[in-house]
Structure 1
Amino acid sequence: MSVAQIIQDAWNKQSRWLIFLRPLSWLYRFGFTLNKKIYQFGLKPRYRAPIPVMVIGNITVGGSGKTPLLIHLVKYLQSLSVRVGVISRGYGGSGPFPKIVSLESVPDEVGDEPCLIVQSTGVAMAVGSNRQESIELLLKNYRLDLIISDDGLQHWALDRQLEWIVLDNNRGLGNQKLLPEGYLREPVSRLKQSTVIEHSHSPKSGLNMHLEVAEPYLLNPQVEQAIVFDPTLDYYAVVGIGFPKRFYHTLETMGVTQFQCHEFPDHYDYEINDLHFDDMNPIITTEKDAVKLLPLMKEHPTYQREIWVVPVEAVLSPECYSLLNKQLQQLGVEINLG
């Protein structure tokens, strides 16, 4: 087990030994605060795009439901005839950056989440660590009304007009400590400065979302077994995401109770050996992982084990749509409400 995984497990368990990392958390807070002030006082320039920018992010490390929310918002905005584009860091991709993401793009070049976003929405998207270059590349190739930044909440070099922070109440804020003693990227007080979307099936706020499971589908339909999903089988749960326990909970709500957990680091680059087990029981995984696994299936067409993918869709409260429409109108973004 890697050091990162050990710390991740300690965060989830709120282990007492994390207190020994407190000096590093103080150092992180100092560096983070200094960097933020440098941009706030204009000692470093901030890029302001010619069209409004909306950042969707979180203050925690690991999964919060941000990507399903972004995908849903893109589809919603497209339905309102808003010409939306998306930028992302392209974590895990080799570039060269900045780079346009297309339906033919592969995770090794642009990252897994950008591939999933474009495959799900067909949105104009560019990736790269330099957000300004990504935006300029998009605007060079597309006529857009709005840019959505996938993450980048702490990227102070990018000026933004709108921020939505996803707060996953299923996971919470842990010990409410900054990295690495806890899994907070920013202090809890940051939640008071932006629009907070509560991710929960039992929300306390009117601005909330939850994830609903869609029908599982077979990633490699060329296998000879039946293609009807059976929740009573024994599965290998193969996941490389930030918060695997959410996926396990999803499986249980689907009636899948017999599964062995095989966890990998977030954004993990799978190899075919990772998918070999002693029997032919099927694999079950997330859409994010499926983006990484599909190229392996193409490289190994004789692979016969069933790989089932569980898609999830974000469901937003009516208040979220009302607020978004109001915020966009205030920014001068035209929306067609029919």
Structure 2
Amino acid sequence: MSLSQRLPEIWYGDEPPPLWLRALVPVYRGLRTLHRAPYTFGWKTPQRLAVPVIVVGNLTVGGTGKTPLVIALVEALRERGRRAGVISRGYGGGVSAPELLGADSDAACVGDEPVLIHAATGVPVAVGRDRVAAGRLLLGHHDCDVLVADDGLQHPGLFRDVEICVIDGERHFGNGLLLPAGPLREPPSRLDSVDFRVRNGGVAQVGEAAMRLAGDTAVSLSDPTLQKPLRDFASRRVHAVAGIGNPARFFAMLRAAGIEVVEHAFADHHVFTASDIDFGDDAPVLMTAKDAVKCRAFARPDCWQVPVRADLPEAFFDAVRTRIDGFRKP
């Protein structure tokens, strides 16, 4: 078993991290401190944009449900009269200079999550390593009055008006150790400084908003106009494909719908090829929406995506809207 396969078991299971991984924790902590030092000592200041910025992030490596929350937040802001745009690092893509997404943007170039967000919401999306530059590019081409940053909690160069941290309600913070011995990018004490905490699954604690991911429809990859209820696959054997941070969550959702699942877990942001979803039989293939944006070009008629939506209390979205209502242009 490779190290990449072992790490989730070390981080979230009972296997103790080997000493050499623990020895690298101070190195990671030192690099993190060095990265933030210019802002800590005032040599640099976070750059403000001309509209309020909402950062949606997490403390751990891997998926906690940030992207579904970004999509839900964009839709909720639109319902409340705001014109949102989205900026992202474009993880998994090859973009260095900031770039605006279009209808034909390739997930291999700009990242799978930005393509998914753009397709799901229709709002302007810009990607780039420099999120400030991406935000300025987007605002220079679109009339947005709020920006949502998909990830970026650990990006000190961008001034943010609201911070939202998503917590995995099932796996929480794993063994509670910093990288690489554990899954944490920042210590749990970072939660004390964020504006909102959202718990995806499990039981929300005091001060947290509860989020549930729900998916009840399957959409054909070869013909997106073809849709059917997920329950139509009940009692059938399917190949379930997930290249996300926590594939087990997707598999569990399918099993909860009464589906017989053959699991095919891939690394987060995996670059799919046709052979990855060809299993040599006539069983249908169900995959996440994030994976579908990378497989549509070579998908067979029996390949389906299962989009999920993030359900949160309306009071949470109202509170976020209230926070940005007092924004004054710098």
Aligned equivalent of 2:273, options 267, 271, 274: 271
How far apart are the structure 1 equivalents of 2:121 and 2:14? 37
Residues 218, 229 of structure 2: 8 Å contact kept: no
How far apart are the structure 1 equivalents of 2:158 and 2:275? 41
| Alignment of structure 1 residues 1-338 onto 2, 5 Å | 2-95=2-95, 97-194=97-194, 195-205=196-206, 207-221=209-223, 229-256=232-259, 258-297=260-299, 303-304=300-301, 306-331=302-327
Question: Residue 233 of structure 2: SS of its match in structure 1?
Answer: coil
Question: Residue 9 of structure 1: SS of its match in structure 2?
Answer: helix
- The percentage of aligned residue pairs carrying the same residue is 38
**Per-residue deviation at 1:2?**
4.1
How far apart are the structure 1 equivalents of 2:253 and 2:214? 9
Alignment-mate amino acid for residue 263 of structure 2: C
**Per-residue deviation at 1:4?**
2.1
Residues 60, 173 of structure 2: 8 Å contact kept: yes
From the superposition, tell whether residues 125 and 5 of structure 1 become closer, same or farther in structure 2 (CA, over 3 Å): same
How far apart are the structure 2 equivalents of 1:246 and 1:173? 16
From the superposition, tell whether residues 324 and 261 of structure 1 become closer, same or farther in structure 2 (CA, over 3 Å): same
How far apart are the structure 2 equivalents of 1:241 and 1:179? 19
**Per-residue deviation at 1:120?**
0.6
How far apart are the structure 1 equivalents of 2:160 and 2:147? 10
How far apart are the structure 2 equivalents of 1:14 and 1:101? 42
1:120-174 deviation line (CA, Å, top 9, x unaligned): 1011110010112101111110122111111011011111111000011111111
How far apart are the structure 1 equivalents of 2:213 and 2:124? 24
Q: Which deviates more, 274-283 or 112-121?
A: 274-283
* 1:336 match: none
Residues 255, 261 of structure 2: 8 Å contact kept: no
- TM-score, normalised by the number of residues in structure 1: 0.90
Q: Structure 1 regions of 5+ residues with no counterpart?
A: 298-302, 334-338
Question: Residue 208 of structure 1: SS of its match in structure 2?
Answer: strand
Residues 58, 153 of structure 1: 8 Å contact kept: yes
From the superposition, tell whether residues 318 and 140 of structure 1 become closer, same or farther in structure 2 (CA, over 3 Å): closer
Q: Structure 2 regions of 5+ residues with no counterpart?
A: none
Q: Which deviates more, 190-199 or 176-185?
A: 190-199
Residues 52, 160 of structure 2: 8 Å contact kept: yes
How far apart are the structure 1 equivalents of 2:250 and 2:296? 19
Residues 77, 317 of structure 2: 8 Å contact kept: no
1:206-242 deviation line (CA, Å, top 9, x unaligned): 52211112312222349xxx99832211111111111
Matched length: 323
Alignment-mate amino acid for residue 262 of structure 1: H
